[in-house]
Amino acid sequence: MKKMFIIVAVLFISFLISCGGGEKKADSNSTVSSGEPVTNTDNPSYDPIRGEGKFTDVAIAATLDQAMAIEGEKVYTVKCSSCHKLTDEKLVGPGFTGVTGRHTPEWVMNFATNPDPMINKDPKVQALLELCLVRMPNQNLTDDDARHVYEFLRKNDGVK
């Protein structure tokens, strides 16, 4: 009878230990994930296709709007060229070649006007930050500036 009691006690204790162990594992998992770069899974409200900002649905024609692209080049020269080349070569930030294929128009315009929250939340920007080691500062673009510079980036990517 005494032996039986010991066996039950041992089983009970090992059951307790295994539960405790399970909890500990869950704890250490959550510590690990909060130390990793924030991904979309951790931010269910963040939309990595659109980014975060005021632009939700930008109408883009199949052909280039030349007048907008000319205005956009001026914005680029004054506010972007110190950090972004028009080639695929990195300066302070990534080169602009192919940028309109890497992101939606909404994403580019939201990032250009509202970089801070996107740097904190967007997995693509976090990967760039690891390469560039500089957070892109807000360039205080107007909505039109953002639209025009986007058109210039399309021109740079070969849209006619």
Q: Which of 80, 106, 121, 147 binds ligand HEC (CB under 6 A)?
A: 80
Q: Which residue's structure tokens are 């005021």? A: 54
Interatomic CA distance for residues 93 and 102, integer angstroms? 15
Please answer whether residues 55 and 47 qualify as being in contact, where contact means their C-beta atoms are separated by less than 8 angstroms. Answer: no
Structure tokens at 112: 């250009």
Choice between 11 and 78, CB closer to ligand HEC: 78
Structure tokens at 39: 């991904």
Span from 25-33, 44-52, 60-68, 95-103 in contact with ligand HEC (CB under 6 A): 95-103
| Interface with ligand HEC, residue 86, by CB under 6 A | no
Q: Which of 149, 151, 155, 156 binds ligand HEC (CB under 6 A)?
A: 149
The residue type of 157 is D
| Interface with ligand HEC, residue 136, by CB under 6 A | yes
Q: Which residue's structure tokens are 């005494």? A: 2
Please answer whether residues 87 and 95 qualify as being in contact, where contact means their C-beta atoms are separated by less than 8 angstroms. Answer: yes
Please answer whether residues 113 and 148 qualify as being in contact, where contact means their C-beta atoms are separated by less than 8 angstroms. Answer: no
Choice between 23 and 39, CB closer to ligand HEC: 39
| Interface with ligand HEC, residue 128, by CB under 6 A | yes
Site residues for ligand HEC per CB under 6 A: 75, 79-80, 82-84, 92-94, 99, 102-103, 108, 111-112, 119, 125, 128-129, 132, 134-137, 139, 141, 149
